[in-house]
Structure 1
Amino acid sequence: MASTSSPSSSTSASSSQVWNHDVYLSFRGEDTRYNFVDHLHAALQQRGICTYIDIESLPHGAPIAKTLLKAIQESRIVVVVFSENYADSSFCLNELEHIMECKKERDQIVMPIYYHVDPLVVRKQKGTYEEAFAKHEFQLNDKLESWRKALEEVSSLPGWVLNKDLYR
């Protein structure tokens, strides 16, 4: 299930496209669903921004649903909320890989938000990201390189850092 507002259309620099969503929110549900992402989603909707958010928890290791792939492709902007345990989820990493492919192919805007995680941890896959990749190495070795590349690409884009140390 997903929550959406009314569709919009936008013109891409390379071609004219109809976008069914202004924004697609990508995040690790366990880390941010019931706090930051809920607030972000509500704020976007209050401003009339058509936002797609997956509101169902998916089983661990589940493949990306076709409806989510389609929603990503039909969104003008994708906001990726990186959290400390984002890389633990192969689902999130597969979704990110698809997002970065769509960015290249469809001229989408991708905006990273670093929620209580340092952008360098994401870019260099250090700390909890390094630990997650070590776990994935035993199960999904064939995906590691494409996930690393997607993380490096997205973390080189301009974004926002929301650090828990700022709120003390």
Structure 2
Amino acid sequence: MDRGKSLESRTSGGESSANDYEVFLSFRGPDTRQGFTDCLYHEMLEANIHVFFDEEELHVGKEIAGELPTAIEKSKIYVPIFSKGYALSPWCLHELAHMVECTKSKPSEKVIMPIFYDVKPRDVRLMSPRYVCALKEHEKKFGCQTRLKWEDALKSVAQIKGWELKKQGYVGVLKCSVTFVLEFQCISKLP
């Protein structure tokens, strides 16, 4: 795909700037980067969807902590890819909490589309020890308030109907995800 052409066509209508993203992918690298997330990213690029993927979009010499919140704010669709280790990452939890805040502040403009990679929604809803134990560990470093904020974000997103990889498989989730983004783009452009 010619990325320059994609960005040019997106900015010519005045709807969004070259720095805006249709999709922000949130994932724990060691769990899904080289497999599912990489496939999802490339499927979206082939569909001419502007995606924030940290490996491609973070710039050498820039502070990561500053770029990620900005990328989240400039995205329309958030795709947290919940894996067994997602809650072990403070970065992932920070991203998720920020996504929830942005969605609440602009509910008609932003949406969260969760993918349950190798966990069930009940794990993310904190109804199993998998994520609960990770949050207890984080509380030691980040405090009770941060833990509660992360818990609320997890529970909130787990209530959203998403895709479960175990039920639909790679190809099914990839196709559904791309279709969802393209349909959301069309709906958001309606008057």
TM-score (norm 1): 0.81
Q: 1:121 — aligned with what? A: 123
TM-superposed CA distance for 1:126, in Å, is 2.1
CA 1:166–1:39 in structure 2 vs 1: closer, same or farther (change >3 Å)?
Answer: closer
CA 1:18–1:86 in structure 2 vs 1: closer, same or farther (change >3 Å)?
Answer: same
Question: Runs in 1 of length 4+ with deviation above 3 angstroms?
Answer: 164-167
Q: Confirm whether residue 162 of structure 1 aligns to residue 146 of structure 2.
A: no
Q: 2:181 — aligned with what? A: none
CA 1:104–1:166 in structure 2 vs 1: closer, same or farther (change >3 Å)?
Answer: closer
* Count of residue pairs brought into register by the alignment: 154
d(CA) in 2 for partners of 1:164, 1:116: 10
Q: 1:49 — aligned with what? A: 49
TM-score (norm 2): 0.72
Q: 2:7 — aligned with what? A: 6
Question: Residue 73 of structure 1 contacts residue 102 of structure 1 at CA under 8 Å; is this kept in 2?
Answer: yes
TM-superposed CA distance for 1:106, in Å, is 2.4
Q: 1:105 — aligned with what? A: 105
Structure 1 residue runs of 5 or longer lacking an equivalent are: 10-16
Residue from 145, 152, 155 that aligns with 1:152: 155
Question: Residue 80 of structure 1 contacts residue 113 of structure 1 at CA under 8 Å; is this kept in 2?
Answer: yes
SS at the partner of 2:78? Answer: strand
TM-superposed CA distance for 1:147, in Å, is 0.4
- Where do residues 55-134 of structure 1 align in structure 2 (5 Å cutoff)? 55=55, 65-107=65-107, 108-124=110-126, 126-134=128-136
Q: 2:188 — aligned with what? A: none
SS at the partner of 2:128? Answer: coil
d(CA) in 1 for partners of 2:32, 2:41: 12
Q: 2:39 — aligned with what? A: 39
CA 1:64–1:150 in structure 2 vs 1: closer, same or farther (change >3 Å)?
Answer: farther
The letter of the residue matching 2:119 is V
Aligned-pair Cα RMSD in Å: 2.8
Question: Residue 125 of structure 1 contacts residue 148 of structure 1 at CA under 8 Å; is this kept in 2?
Answer: no
Question: Residue 27 of structure 1 contacts residue 81 of structure 1 at CA under 8 Å; is this kept in 2?
Answer: yes
SS at the partner of 2:119? Answer: coil
